[in-house]
Chains A and B, each alone.
Chain A
């Protein structure tokens, strides 16, 4: 059941990314190109996506638990550190150079060609590398 709901969510997410135009790197880079022909579409996408989630967080707070019994994820401590800001800066740089963030890069893997495939493979390598480095640091500290 959990996997089924997960698949429904992933499929709807992917279709939403396709319909919104976010799988087109030119539209995303158009949003980032404030000095050129700026394309405000991304603001409509983000705004549209936040609306149902505003409602969902209210319902979640009232219910306390998800329908299948799990607790609602707790709000993380408001820790704004170098890791959060530095990571977001690296992400922003890669996002600008490619026009891809993780969701659209995955959703468009079926038709994004060699460039999209190389991006997704490199992204996976980057994720594994970060996790391996972190695990080694924790092991050394322990």
Chain B
């Protein structure tokens, strides 16, 4: 067949992306909340203020629903590194960084950029460029990845 081959992973990416955007739209339009993973987790850990019930419901479903699907269906891999000191350092950086910047890929990247927030566009630009630079150094220069 002469049909140009679009890699299926791009199509899955687009479909999954539409689902992510649909989830963010649902939370915004019905509950009036920004769907940011780091903000929801960070405030849930802080433990004060209202809205704790809906944050916990979000987190339980975020962890539980894909977990059940994978347990039943199988086949998913994360390729997560088992270099535990590396993962601990990375987790600390992500935890501190996302709370400092008030957002991550979902809050700034999806919810903020789609409303043309300058803060979110700046944040997304920085974590993309720094992410690419750090990956380049870690993989191609230092060789730890």
Q: Which residues of A contact B (CB under 8 A)?
A: 2-27, 29, 32-36, 39-57, 59-60, 63, 65-73, 75-76, 78-80, 83-103, 105-116, 118-131
A79's nearest neighbour on chain B, judged by CB, is: B119
Contact B80 A113 (CB under 8 A): yes
Q: Would you mind naming 22 contact pairs between A and B with Cβ atoms under 8 Å apart?
A: A11-B23, A11-B62, A14-B61, A20-B14, A36-B140, A41-B12, A45-B20, A75-B115, A84-B122, A87-B102, A91-B93, A96-B134, A99-B80, A101-B104, A105-B94, A109-B67, A110-B71, A116-B78, A118-B88, A122-B91, A123-B94, A128-B46
Contact A25 B81 (CB under 8 A): yes
In the bound complex, residues from chain B placing their C-beta under 8 Å from that of A63 are: 29
In the bound complex, residues from chain B placing their C-beta under 8 Å from that of A121 are: 88, 91
Q: Which residues of B contact A (CB under 8 A)?
A: 9-35, 37-38, 41-42, 45-46, 51, 53-71, 76-84, 86-102, 104-106, 108-111, 113-115, 117-119, 122-124, 126-136, 138-140, 145
Contact B17 A45 (CB under 8 A): yes
Q: In the complex, A30→B117 CA distance in Å?
A: 27
Contact A18 B16 (CB under 8 A): yes
Contact B84 A115 (CB under 8 A): yes
Q: In the complex, A51→B41 CA distance in Å?
A: 25
Contact B45 A93 (CB under 8 A): no
Chain B residues touching A, majority SS: helix
**Chain A CB within 10 Å — which of B26, B90, B105 has the most?**
B90
Q: Given A18-B70, A113-B82, A118-B91, are A96 and B135 also a contact pair (CB < 8 Å)?
A: yes
Q: In the complex, A52→B97 CA distance in Å?
A: 27
Contact A126 B132 (CB under 8 A): no
In the bound complex, residues from chain B placing their C-beta under 8 Å from that of A12 are: 19-20, 22-23, 26
List the 3 closest A-B pairs by CB distance, nearest first: A48-B17, A126-B95, A20-B16
Contact B41 A23 (CB under 8 A): no
Q: In the complex, A63→B145 CA distance in Å?
A: 48
In the bound complex, residues from chain A placing their C-beta under 8 Å from that of B109 are: 46, 49
In the bound complex, residues from chain B placing their C-beta under 8 Å from that of A33 are: 132, 135-136, 139
In the bound complex, residues from chain B placing their C-beta under 8 Å from that of A97 are: 86, 89-90, 93, 134-135, 138, 145
Minimum CB–CB distance for A135 against chain B, Å: 9
Q: In the complex, A75→B25 CA distance in Å?
A: 16
Q: Given A83-B100, A114-B82, are A53 and B111 also a contact pair (CB < 8 Å)?
A: yes
In the bound complex, residues from chain B placing their C-beta under 8 Å from that of A108 are: 66, 76, 78, 80
Minimum CB–CB distance for A93 against chain B, Å: 5
Q: In the complex, A89→B101 CA distance in Å?
A: 9
